[in-house]
Structure 1
Amino acid sequence: MENKQTVSEPGRSARFTQVYTREYPRVHAFARRRTGDPGVAEDITAEVFRIAWEHEVRGGETTPGWLFVTARNVLGNHYRSHARLTELHGRIGAELGRAPASAETSAVLEALDRLPDRHREVLLLSYWDGLAAAEIGGLLDCGTSAVWVRLHRARKAFREIYTSSRESV
């Protein structure tokens, strides 16, 4: 039987500390751009690194791509929880006779909202998160050339939506 490494192994702890120190700012920025709330982004980032530590303890390797996939999954859980809470607040507001508040958004955000998820995601990963094509490919489980094709298509779709919305104003 193979000897399993223990949690207190200095090599694993040092390796995880290096990954944490190097990748924490990027994962936090990824979460903050998607939530718009520094506190929520901090909670999401902490959860990502908690999961990463458990992954390391089980003998897995924590790579930047793995961290971003995990962050995307944790954000998905956050969005679902937020949507349920927003729906609940809307129902409560309707029962009390209050209309839910709506915020104004910029033309760029409106165009991003109107994009299909596949286009919005690749644009956000590239422009807002500053990920390289290889990193995006790892996150989206595709090759670098496929990322460039997706970016080209996403830019074209964004341009069409953005210009058509600006012309109708």
Structure 2
Amino acid sequence: MTEASDATFDRLWSEHAAAVVRYARAHVLPDDVEDVVAETFVVAWRRLDEIPDLGLPWLLGVARGISANARRSRRRQGALNDRLMSLGETRVQNTPEDDWPLFHDGSTMAALRALPESDRELLTLLAWDGLSQEEAAEVLGCSRGALKVRLHRARRRFAQLTDVAHEVTHDRDPAPHLGGTQ
């Protein structure tokens, strides 16, 4: 590679490494974060000429695919461990399939965790990763119009879940929003 390539890669790293780390922390177990970040930047190095001017959406799209692979690998490892357990072997490591490392408690966090993965990812790309709708559409591989529809639906589902979680947390009758009396 050339000095220009080195400079381009250094710029990508300095400007976007922290965002890729945040993304990885939100989508994989802590043990996998460094691997996801490293693999993302290996792909960036190999495909440096293909990266658009706004590199962050492209990098997060790569990190998304690598994160999905890491989660699938964990699930397969968990399934293998379960099979070994059924054969009388000891469990190698605890890898619950439903573990999403960022959220542990709180009604808002519980509502976010209860959303489908695609809704969670969309909302966190916009709110936590600070992407525009156009950038998020690029990360998710969809059109801006499709993203707007998905976002509207995700926000509606999230609002419904937070309303229910808030009512349960505050021990109120959930009937008022269903047309009941208070």
Say which of 27, 47, 52 aligns to 2:20: 27
Which of structure 1's runs of 4+ aligned residues deviate more than 6 A? 97-104
Q: Superposed, which structure 2 residues align to 1:2-151 within 5 Å?
A: 7=1, 9-37=2-30, 39-56=31-48, 59-61=49-51, 63-96=55-88, 105-106=104-105, 107-144=107-144, 146-151=146-151
Q: Against the structure 1 CA distance between its residues 101 and 119, is the aligned structure 2 distance closer, same or farther, given a 3 Å change threshold?
A: closer
Alignment gaps of 5+ in structure 1: 1-6
Q: Secondary structure at the match of 1:134?
A: helix
State the identity as a percent.
30
Alignment gaps of 5+ in structure 2: 170-182
Note if contact 1:137-1:144 (Cα within 8 Å) is conserved in structure 2: yes
Give the TM-score, by structure 2 length. 0.72
- The one-letter code sitting in structure 2 at the alignment partner of 1:45 is V
Q: Distance in 1 between matches of 2:86 and 2:163?
A: 36
Give the TM-score, by structure 1 length. 0.76
Q: Against the structure 1 CA distance between its residues 84 and 168, is the aligned structure 2 distance closer, same or farther, given a 3 Å change threshold?
A: same
Q: Distance in 1 between matches of 2:166 and 2:73?
A: 33
Q: Distance in 1 between matches of 2:82 and 2:24?
A: 25
